[in-house]
Amino acid sequence: MESRWSNHPDYAEYIGYPETEESSAIKGTPALGRPGEVHPGMSAFIDAGEYNSAAIAADGTILTWGRLDPKAVPKLSGPTQVSVGWDHCLAITSSGEVVSWGKGYKIDPPSKDIKEHGGAVSVATGRGHSVALCRDGSVHAWGDSSMGETLVPSESIAAHGGATAIAAGGFYSVALCRDGTPIAWGDNKHGELETDFLRSYGGVVKISAGFFHGLALCKDGTLQGWGDNQRGQLAIPHADLMRHGGVVSFSAGGGHCVALCKDGFVAAWGSHNSGQTRVPVDRIRSRGGVVSVAAGGRHILALCGDRTLISWGWNSCGQGDVPSRALESHGGVAIRPNVTSNQAAADDAEQKVDNTPLLIPTSNFDGMKHGYVFVKGLGYYKTEGQKQPEKKQISVGDWSDDED
């Protein structure tokens, strides 16, 4: 299946594997605790914004790095989520209170309204606005509303059973309703609100909002996208994602996307202007594979199997400088089972990840076509200019990133 705009002739070079020049992948086996105890797709307490990144450590400490002042992070009791915007952050306490810090227009949450609706269960941050999902299924937004970002269509959301998830993009937001209907509001210059086509995929079970585009995991198991596609961010490699068990974790960033499959396969596609779609294969492999992913403005965070974080892509303000020692001193990144209305995804979390050899695309910053090989045994190799990859027997020692 194709994403809504992935057949656009101007972006053919971004579409799928093996034709895309701007995607990478790696298979890993998460190794937190005993084998099989932690699996890809588990929801991690991490988030990435335009200039900042954040994580909740195992002991409840929130750490941020990038342009935000790390000393401004409040000490909270049992935080359950952290969300990073342009220059502000939100976190939810164990009691459902929303706390904000950083810079921006009206970043303080409507605490009274949130409390009256049972407290927050999820928060999301956009370019200059914020959104909270309350326990009763209502959605509340605040901050900049120059594009209608805070004009929540509450009646429409209630008519579809209330919201079960939220996501905030650059100048828009989207709520996923109980009946699987996504409802978006705010700016629509790039088609950010055009989600009606998702009905043909049986409804939606999970959402993510990028700056001008969005992603949705549908009930038929496919990942679909809408909105801006100037960087090929909607050129979703459907066949490969499904071939590797389907998507269990995904995130839409500034002009790129990243997805983690059931068997540990990670794919990134879209804008490559800061190396954000170049997955660091060796680093991930050495840390036990990937558990969860988050896409920022032009960088990506990945939680690895040893509870450490790695980052790649843009690092202009230190958003990629993961404070590894500080995280380690607080017990590593906190992890919890993924909570979803999709029972199939919940069942997936019970299955172990095997060590089957996997096809790994590699790329470089010079725009050279990928070399494709298995981790071991028979693989495929594609040289620059070739239409189709050729079979080739390759040993582990023969594999390289082909950087020249």
**344 is a domain residue:** yes
Residue 43, pLDDT score: 56
Helix or strand holding residue 391 (H, E): strand 390-393
Are residues 252 and 395 located together in one domain of the fold? Answer: no
**36 is a domain residue:** yes
* pLDDT at 366 > cutoff 70: no
Are residues 187 and 132 located together in one domain of the fold? Answer: yes
**151 is a domain residue:** yes
Are residues 308 and 392 located together in one domain of the fold? Answer: no
**1 is a domain residue:** no
**Rounded-to-integer distance, Cα 118 and Cα 135, Å:** 5
Q: Please state the three-class secondary structure of 285-326 as a single string.
A: HHCCCEEEEEECCCEEEEEECCCCEEEEECCCCCCCCCCHHH
Per-residue pLDDT band at 211 (split at 50, 70, 90): very high
Are residues 276 and 168 located together in one domain of the fold? Answer: yes
Helix (H, G, I), strand (E, B) or coil at 7: coil
Q: Per-residue pLDDT tens for 219-261?
A: 999 999 999 999 999 999 999 999 999 999 999 999 999 999 9
Are residues 41 and 120 located together in one domain of the fold? Answer: yes
Residue 311, pLDDT score: 96
Q: Which residues contact 215 (CB under 8 A, 6 or more apart)?
A: 207, 208, 209, 223, 224, 225, 236, 250, 251, 252, 257
Q: What is the pTM of this model?
A: 0.77
- How many domains are there within the chain? 2
Are residues 385 and 399 located together in one domain of the fold? Answer: yes
**Rounded-to-integer distance, Cα 364 and Cα 281, Å:** 12
Are residues 206 and 228 located together in one domain of the fold? Answer: yes
Are residues 338 and 361 located together in one domain of the fold? Answer: no
Q: Per-residue pLDDT tens for 154-168?
A: 999 999 999 999 999
Q: Whole domain around residue 216: which residue ranges? A: 9-354
Are residues 304 and 379 located together in one domain of the fold? Answer: no
**Mean pLDDT computed over 338-347:** 31
